[in-house]
A and B are shown apart, each in its own frame.
Chain A
Amino acid sequence: MKKVLIICGTGVATSTVVAAKVRDHLAAQGIEADVSQGKVMDLMGPAPEVDLIVATTEVPATLDVPVVRALPLLTGIGEDAALAEIVSALS
């Protein structure tokens, strides 16, 4: 199963909103994935073992995991494009 890590400032606030949307969308598309949340400070340590990071905030440039910017999922502007990007990154 693919692993998706949702990152925001606290691992609580905006990432909860984004995680719910990503979970719903992936389920609707029939893609099985493990969606978890984290805070950006956690990325300062060893790199997380995930297939995709979806971040509402800036993440360190040194990560070798694909990153999708999640701002559209918060504002609703460009939401479909962002969801499509997430799906294509996982397939």
Chain B
Amino acid sequence: MESILGPISGYLTGLGPSVVLPVLITIFGLILGLKLGKSFRAGVTIGIGFIGINLVIGLLGGQVGPAATAMAEGLGVSLDVVDVGWPSSAAIAFGSAIGAMIIPLGLLVNVILLVTGLTRTFDIDLWNYWHSALIGALVAAVTESFLLGLLSAAVHLALVLAFADLTAPIVQKYFQLPEISFPHGTSAPYGLLAIPLNRLFDAIPGLKGLDATPAAIQKRFGMFGESLMMGLVLGLLIGIFGYGFDDPAADSTAILTLAISLAAAMFLLPRMVAILMEGLMPISEAARTFVQKRFPGRTFYIGLDSAVAVGQPSVIATSLILVPVTLLIAVALAPAGNRVLPLVDLATIPFVVAVMVPIFRGNIVRSVIGGGILIGAGLFVATWIAPTFTQVAVASGFALEEGQTTISSIVDGANPLTAVFFAAARLGVPGVLGAALLSLGAVFAIRVAMARRDRAAAAAGSQEPSA
């Protein structure tokens, strides 16, 4: 099977996502019952989104890459891996051979899990399948096996859905979102790790009662929220450290150009991704109706993007503080081996903490400490996977000349689950299969825990009226 799939996936990656995805999406839309015109328009819109993202990644690589390298040499701080952020990661993931298959694969996995009762979240947000596609693409690149990549993507999605089930009651109560869960590749794994951290923090005497109010923090750290200003300031700093000021005319030109380019990249990337989203939306809607029509009467958790939780004041306050903290951590950990320069994903920190905050019961001090610890550890993961990440990006047709700029991402590159799957891939076939079995075991264990929780809730419910 591998011998047939190999050349096919090779040809598809040669064509590039901006050509392949429009065709695939059109076909997929038709299967789901969309009209040809609507389906085709959706496909072409997605292709356009890819071209747009590629332009901006080129700008990032061309402008920021050399400056980061120069800064590394000048300061002796080797932060030469450019964080291209989630918008690029999503595009790279959807643009990979695994990404081309992820929508049908993801729907299939989700439906199987629902029918067998293993998980109860129905993810209506097909866009976020990209997290699983990225895992699959990384595994495929390391093992040079398309099938192992597909397997890892499927298993990753199953895990994320199970995590969403597990954290759903806390999320629903804290954000007041009944029937909602967050099967989000970034938020869910971090949320899971917040559970043991919270127990640990409870055991530390001085930490127990410490908290801060969101309002004061929003006022003081508000400037870190606007990616436009953040890009400009970061660009100026990197430029000054990178280019120095020996030749005022040439250096100031380079510094100012870098500043406006970085601001432009951070501002434009999400806009470009919005075009991708716009194209994917009709497909996502059609898929939702398709599944809901075939499984009526079942009660699901509705799986949403954790973007709906990001506005909660404690999430915002935590994220605002974590922006400068993440930069400081990155510099401080450089001697220990971190090479990632946090840039675009500084604006994505809310997604790292979105499920952690409710588990810490909104405690901002705990959320900042917990987030800082996990992001710090994650920077090493992001550094570790950077060469493969870059290789996947180039294979997906993005304009990076290999060997020139190395890229990675904080949000999914530094993710604990990425570390697990990447490590497994490095161990070869037994590693990947072992990780898949362990993950399915975890999904099953969560199912058992959920059943126990349901029984406890039912027992409490039936006792209430008499009490």
Chain A contact residues, CB within 8 Å of chain B: 7-17, 20, 37, 39-42, 44-45, 55-60, 71, 74-77
Contact = CB atoms under 8 A, between A and B. Distances in A.
Contacts of A40: 310-311, 316
B34 to A, nearest CB: 14
B274 A14 contact: no
B281 A13 contact: no
B234 to A, nearest CB: 16
Given A9-B350, A41-B225, A44-B222, A20 B308 contact: no
Contact of B311 (A7, A16, A75): A7
B225 A75 contact: no
Contact of B274 (A16, A45, A76): A16
A76 B284 CA distance: 13
B154 interface: no
B189 to A, nearest CB: 18
Contacts, number: 98
Given A42-B225, A75-B304, A9 B124 contact: no
Contact of B310 (A42, A57, A77): A57
Interface in B342-379: 347-348, 350-351, 354
A24 to B, nearest CB: 11
Give me the 10 closest cross-chain CB pairs, A-B, nearest first.
A9-B310, A9-B307, A57-B311, A41-B225, A40-B311, A58-B311, A44-B222, A16-B277, A12-B270, A13-B307
B312 interface: yes
Contacts of A8: 307-308, 310-311
B180 to A, nearest CB: 7
Contacts of A14: 125, 304-305, 307-308
Given A75-B124, A75-B304, 8 more contacts: A8-B308, A14-B125, A17-B281, A39-B270, A41-B226, A56-B307, A57-B311, A75-B302
B437 to A, nearest CB: 33
A57 B309 contact: yes
B361 to A, nearest CB: 16
A7 B348 CA distance: 15
Contact of A44 (B308, B316, B350, B351): B316
Nearest to A7: B311
A20 B307 contact: no
B273 interface: yes
Interface of B: 87, 124-125, 127, 175, 177, 179-180, 218, 222, 225-227, 270-271, 273-274, 277-278, 281, 284, 288, 302, 304-313, 316, 320, 347-348, 350-351, 354
A57 B311 CA distance: 5
30 contacts: A7-B311, A8-B307, A9-B305, A9-B310, A10-B307, A10-B310, A11-B270, A13-B305, A13-B307, A14-B304, A14-B307, A14-B308, A16-B281, A17-B281, A20-B278, A37-B274, A40-B310, A41-B227, A44-B222, A44-B226, A44-B316, A57-B310, A57-B312, A58-B175, A58-B311, A60-B313, A71-B180, A75-B179, A75-B302, A77-B179
Most buried by B among A9, A11, A14, A74: A9
A14 B270 CA distance: 12
Contacts of A59: 311
Nearest to A56: B308
B277 A13 contact: yes
Nearest to B86: A10
B287 to A, nearest CB: 13
Nearest to A75: B302
B308 A74 contact: yes
Nearest to B351: A9
A75 B178 CA distance: 11
A8 B128 CA distance: 15
A56 B354 CA distance: 14
A12 B309 contact: no
B278 A16 contact: yes
Contacts of B309: 9, 57
A49 B143 CA distance: 53
B270 A10 contact: yes
Contacts of A42: 225-226
Contacts of A7: 311
Contacts of A76: 288
B177 to A, nearest CB: 7
A54 to B, nearest CB: 13
Nearest to B311: A57
Contacts of A9: 305-311, 350-351, 354
A17 to B, nearest CB: 6
Nearest to B284: A17
